[in-house]
Amino acid sequence: MIALSLSEIAAAVDGELRLHGADEPATVVSGVVDTDSRNMTAGGVFVAKPGETTDGHLFVGTAVSRGAVLALVERVVDEPVTQIVVADVVVAIAQLAREVVSRVRASGRLRIVGITGSNGKTTTKNMLATILRPEGETVAPVGSYNNSVGAPLTMLRVTHDTRYLVCEFGADASGQIARLAGLVTPDVGVVLMVGMAHAGGFGGIESTVRAKSELVSAIRATPLPGQDAPGIAVLNADDPRVAGMASIADDRGLAVRWFGEADAADVRASGLRVTAEGTDATVTVDGQDLPLHLRVLGAHHVKNAVAAITAAVALGVDPAAAVERVGELELAERWRMQVMGSDRVRIINDAYNASPDSMSAALRTLAQITRPDERMVAVLGAMSELGEHAHEEHAKIGLLAVRLRIPRIVVVGDEARSLYLAAVAEGSWSDEAVFFSDADEAFAYLQGELRDGDRVLVKSSNSAGLRFLGDRLGESFT
């Protein structure tokens, strides 16, 4: 965090300052801000966030022992540290993030990109950060820091030397993206796609569309000092739901830059070829045909790559440099198409997130990268937050797995049982499709079942926990 006095921080968060020791209102703080006491370093600010299973107020002492000099709390804690008492620490870190970004932005150097979409946010964020870092100091979320806590913590990492802030905005309810993006008013807003992810929480696909469009409504509509143009909406030309958001951009006087495979896209991908070593394509930008090689597995990541390239070009990055740099990324993120195991048994651990769209894409990737002399194995768990659509969407994935001729379908967890039943009904009989209630049973089965030449996809939502099964398989077959 940039240097601020205790009184400035208290004013920003509407809090009551409780001084300790030699601290004064003018005492300056500039350390890391975090909700995890394990991440504290000297001069840090610890946010005592109450949680579902524990309470951050219990760890203030630990944070102090690790160097914290200030605690944001909802009640005074008997620990030797200055505290700022607020009504809600989650609201407080958002207020502090708004203040910090506003001060840094006043220098005129900081440019901000917001990214949202039902799938691909984290991968696109990492791709864009990879492109931007050679241009100047770049702050981007760690992992999937895209919610009401993670997004402000990312924002609070900016300094007066930061040139680019890349924000990832997730949401499980209407209004959340508007609140988070409203803290920073992005210069560039990227909407990747609208699918069934979180549809249960939103109440349907149309509500999801409205929620994702909140980012377009939050893009800066007036030029910054020293600039002569408003912000830019970067939209998916291949997704009609996203394309419809152009009307919001037009009404607000924003520029629109299109990405995708459509001929009308400003940044267009064509000639996709998927192998076990990655994906090749041609990217056309401003009349230039540029060769792209992605090390990240899966044709669906080409769309994420062209979105990142489009945003980078909108920020003034040379197109050829953007295409070259995005190809340097070896792993989108842990547990996202992460290749593990060995040449004998290759494990693709993609079990951090799952939706009908990403599940379908991962299964198709498995089919594309498996040679005729190799065997496909799909280890599949539940897709969360689908609400009333859960049974139907799981059944569709079961049908797809059979139609892709995947000879071993291993379904794990009661919430995914409809996927297994659909696969059996479609013709995956005998031991072609098997079901296990928990990951331990599945692991024991797979240890005996997997053989040389197997290519294994492990895919589920985070809540299903199959990412840890993928880790175990990767270690077992190294």
Say if strands 433-436 and 454-459 run parallel, antiparallel, or are unpaired.
Answer: unpaired
Q: From start to end of 19-134, where are the E strands?
A: 28-29, 33-34, 45-47, 70-73, 82-85, 111-116
Q: What is the pLDDT of residue 227?
A: 65
pLDDT in tens for each of the 478 residues of the chain? 999 999 999 999 999 999 999 999 999 999 999 999 999 999 999 999 998 788 999 999 999 999 999 999 999 999 999 999 999 999 999 999 999 999 999 987 899 999 999 889 999 999 999 999 999 999 999 877 889 999 999 999 999 999 999 999 988 788 999 999 999 999 999 999 998 655 555 567 888 899 999 999 999 998 766 666 789 999 999 999 999 999 999 999 999 999 999 999 999 999 999 988 899 999 999 889 999 999 988 888 999 999 999 999 999 999 999 999 999 998 877 888 899 999 899 999 999 889 999 999 999 999 999 999 999 999 999 999 888 889 999 999 999 999 999 999 999 999 999 999 999 998 877 779 999 999 999 999 999 999 999 999 999 998 899 999 999 999 999 8
- Comparing CA positions, the residue from 153, 146, 206, 142 lying closest to residue 176 is 146
Whole-Å CA distances, 225 to 11, 67, 107, 127: 26, 39, 10, 29
DSSP code for 46: E
Amino acid of residue 114: G
- The dotted CATH code for 92-326 is 3.40.1190.10
Euclidean distance between CA atoms 478 and 12, whole angstroms? 51
- Read off φ and ψ for residue 141, nearest 5 degrees: -65, 150
Amino acid at 457: L
Residue 113 CA to residue 143 CA, distance in Å, equals: 17
**Interhelix angle 390-403/417-426, nearest 10 degrees:** 40
Position 187 scores a pLDDT of 96
The pLDDT score that the predictor gives to residue 213 is 97
CATH label, 4-86, candidates 3.30.70.1560, 3.30.110.60, 3.40.1390.10, 3.40.190.10:
3.40.1390.10
Is 122 flagged in the annotation as binding?
A: yes
The CA distance from 213 to 221, in Å, is 15
Third-level CATH fold of 338-476: Protein-Tyrosine Phosphatase; Chain A (3.90.190)
Q: Is 27 annotated as a binding residue?
A: no
DSSP secondary structure string for all residues of 218-270? HS--SPPTT-----EEEEETT-HHHHTTHHHHHHTT-EEEEEESSTT-SEEEE
Residue 358 labelled as part of a binding site: no
Identify how many contiguous H helices and E strands the chain contains and give both numbers.
17, 22
Distances (CA, A) of 32 to 142, 158, 329: 14, 10, 27
| φ, ψ dihedrals at 168, nearest 5° | -105, 125
pLDDT attached to residue 199? 56
| Spatial distance between the Cα atoms of 124 and 321, rounded to a whole number of angstroms | 16
The domain locations on the chain are: 4-86, 92-326, 338-476
**DSSP string of 154-201?**
HHTT--TT--EEEEE---SSTTHHHHHHHTT--SEEEE----STTHHH
Is residue 418 within 8 Å of residue 394, measured between CB atoms? yes
Question: What pLDDT does residue 196 have?
Answer: 66
- Is 117 annotated as ligand-binding? yes
Task: Write out the two tokens for 320.
Answer: 């050829």
pTM for this prediction = 0.89
Look up residue 283 and give its two tokens. Answer: 């990217």
For residues 313 and 147, give the distance between their C-alpha atoms in angstroms, rounded to a whole number: 27
C-alpha distances (whole Å) from 420 to each of 52, 390, 440 are 32, 13, 18
Planar angle of CA 15, 18, 21, nearest 5 degrees:
150
User: Residue 118, annotated ligand binder?
Assistant: yes
